[in-house]
Amino acid sequence: MALSTEEVLSGLAELVNDETGIATDTIALDKSFTDDLDIDSISMMTIVVNAEEKFDVKIPDEDVANLKTVGDAVNYIVKAAG
Amino acid sequence: MFSLMAHQKIVVTGIGAFTPLGVNATDTWNNLLAGKSGARTIEKDYVAELDLPVTFAAQVVQNPDEILERVEVKRLDPSSQYALIAGREAFADAGSPTVDPGRLAVDWATGIGGIWTLVNAWEDLRQKGPRRVMPMTVPMLMPNGPAAAVGMDLHARAGIRTVVSACASSTESIVNAVEHLRAGYADVIIAGGSEAAVHPLPLASFAAMQALSKRNDDPTRASRPYDVDRDGFVLGEGAAALVLETEEHALARGARIYAEVIGGAVTSDAYHITAPDPEGSAAARAMKTAIEIGGAALTDVVHINAHATSTPVGDIAEYNALKRVFGDHLKNIAVTATKGATGHLLGGAGAIEALFTVMALHTRTVPPTINLDNQDPEIVLDVVTSPRQLPEGSLVAISNSFGFGGHNAVAAFRSYP
């Protein structure tokens, strides 16, 4: 099922907020998970695992390292769900 | 053994508790004095679904998610959540002392560890596969998780240690804290224990070994130490913490001092994995050593917070050990068994009972043993059933804990000043 960038961003922002407490409105496409949002590797993996279930996609571990920004993750999920 | 021991007094300057009797130490203590019980029916679907033989427990009175940050709740097993609540309260109660992180340590304890996390992760693995096992599973289930939660929160960098010795765990953590302070490893230590095992698996397991009371229709009357009709312990949960520091450090910062911890001792039965040695010789040695290492005489002891879990065999075995230690002096000692009110907090039991012992000396009031309608005629003890005033002067009290595995741990306290 095709998902829009907006849908994925807002869904992903909820998952990030749920895991870290970071306010959803600060979670924008250009934010780096590590440098801007200070998300550690365990939280990142938790978000990835939850995103797989929420968006019904697969995000292999070797691809997670390439998801530097929120935008990277949103684009990846939009593509994978397409 | 510990050459510095005689020179360094250790004092209690802060207390914290999150228990079936209250969300903090004050509520817990007041409800204990009021003779209340923390036991109630478990209002969860799993009780009926699994047809559990025991349907009640002494449960904490507030959901931790109403106290802690959401992220803390998410990343911590309940055993660590309870620890964090009690640890923070104790440190704040001690006046949130400014202490070099390299001189601040944690000696914590749990009997079981993160059982909710462990079993939930197993369910996820079975039902959804390995990809759905959360990355935080290991740090949440490990038995040192509660200690780490308390220590990280307070930036304790002089060591964060965990004792696991079943129901003796958190008395042993207090004994260790005293030794660590006397050995000079730290100036301030948060010592305590926590347990969050009101879960169907421990309930079924303890019931399988006939350890639990089956008084399902009357939970508040089920835990009845020393009563002729006692039929087992009541599973409890919660946490308690004490802030211990050297007297020198406490006085230098003008801290309020509740009581002195004069000593502690750990011995082992090496007799049976669950049954206490009926002779009680190792348990007796733990009591005697704790008192004597603290420079007190056996006849100085005026109060004992007994382990007394309300099992038919255990209460008698401890009584035999008490007779062995105190002989004729036993009749002069005001004994209480607070598990009647709190249930059995397992790895948190020693800490909450140490807290009660400290408060008994500080307020000079022995808290009651509830539900003692007909004292077992084989147990000839002066059991306190309503709050009793202690005399003036310098008083010594001990708190006993014994655990599966044959662990005996005793902490000894003196009123202060």
pLDDT at position B92 is 98
pLDDT surpasses 80 at B194: yes
Instruction: For an interface test with B, give the residue of A43, A44, A57, A61 to mutate (most B CBs within 10 A).
Output: A43
| Least Cα separation, residue A46 to chain B (angstroms) | 6
State percent of chain B over pLDDT 90.
97
Contacts A–B by Cβ distance under 8 A: 21
Residue B65 sits at the chain A interface (C-beta within 8 Å): no
| Helix, strand, or coil (residue A69) | strand
Confidence band for B67, pLDDT divided at 50, 70 and 90:
very high
pLDDT surpasses 70 at B6: no
Least confident of B108-117, B127-136, B199-208, B395-404: B127-136
pLDDT surpasses 90 at A15: yes
Residue A82 sits at the chain B interface (C-beta within 8 Å): no
pLDDT surpasses 50 at B220: yes
Confidence band for A1, pLDDT divided at 50, 70 and 90:
low
A42–B131 C-beta distance less than 8 A: no
pLDDT surpasses 90 at B85: yes
pLDDT surpasses 80 at B183: yes
B262-415: in CATH 3.30.1540.20:
no
Which tens digits make up the pLDDT trace of B283-313?
Answer: 999 999 999 999 999 999 999 999 999 999 9
What is the distance between the alpha carbons of residues B273 and B276, in angstroms, rounded to a whole number?
Answer: 8
Residue A42 sits at the chain B interface (C-beta within 8 Å): yes
Residue A63 sits at the chain B interface (C-beta within 8 Å): no
pLDDT at position B8 is 86
Q: How far does Cα B310 stand from its chain's mean position?
A: 16
Residue B71 sits at the chain A interface (C-beta within 8 Å): yes
pLDDT at position B7 is 67
Query: In the numeric block, which tokens belong to residue A24?
Result: 């959803």
B71–A52 C-beta distance less than 8 A: no
Contacts of residue A53 in chain B, CB cutoff 8 Å?
Answer: 132
* Catalytic site positions of B: 167, 307, 344
A53–B132 C-beta distance less than 8 A: yes
Instruction: For an interface test with A, give the residue of B69, B76, B131, B132 to mutate (most A CBs within 10 A).
Output: B131
| Least Cα separation, residue A49 to chain B (angstroms) | 6
**Residue B131: which of A18, A43, A52 has the nearest Cβ?**
A52
pLDDT at position B3 is 46
pLDDT surpasses 50 at A20: yes
Q: Average the pLDDT over B5-31 and give the result.
A: 93
B11-252: in CATH 3.40.47.10:
yes
CATH 3.40.47.10 maps onto chain B at: 11-252, 262-415
What is the distance between the alpha carbons of residues B197 and B148, in angstroms, rounded to a whole number?
Answer: 19
Pick the catalytic residue: A35, A38, A40, A56?
Answer: A40
Residue B70 sits at the chain A interface (C-beta within 8 Å): yes
Q: Is A40 a catalytic residue?
A: yes
Q: Average the pLDDT over B108-131 and give the result.
A: 97
ipTM (interface predicted TM): 0.84
Q: Average the pLDDT over B170-177 and give the result.
A: 98
Which tens digits make up the pLDDT trace of A63-78?
Answer: 999 999 999 999 999 9
pLDDT at position B4 is 47
pLDDT surpasses 50 at B402: yes
Confidence band for B5, pLDDT divided at 50, 70 and 90:
very low
pLDDT surpasses 90 at A82: no
Residue A20 sits at the chain B interface (C-beta within 8 Å): yes
Confidence band for A2, pLDDT divided at 50, 70 and 90:
confident
Residue A52 sits at the chain B interface (C-beta within 8 Å): yes
Burial B26-44 (b: 16+ CB within 10 A, else e): ebbbebbbebbbbbeebee
B135–A45 C-beta distance less than 8 A: yes
State percent of chain B over pLDDT 70.
98
> Among B401, B389, B322, which Cα is nearest to B361's?
B389
Q: Average the pLDDT over B99-119 and give the result.
A: 98
B71–A20 C-beta distance less than 8 A: yes
pLDDT surpasses 80 at B246: yes
pLDDT at position B1 is 40
| Least Cα separation, residue A51 to chain B (angstroms) | 11
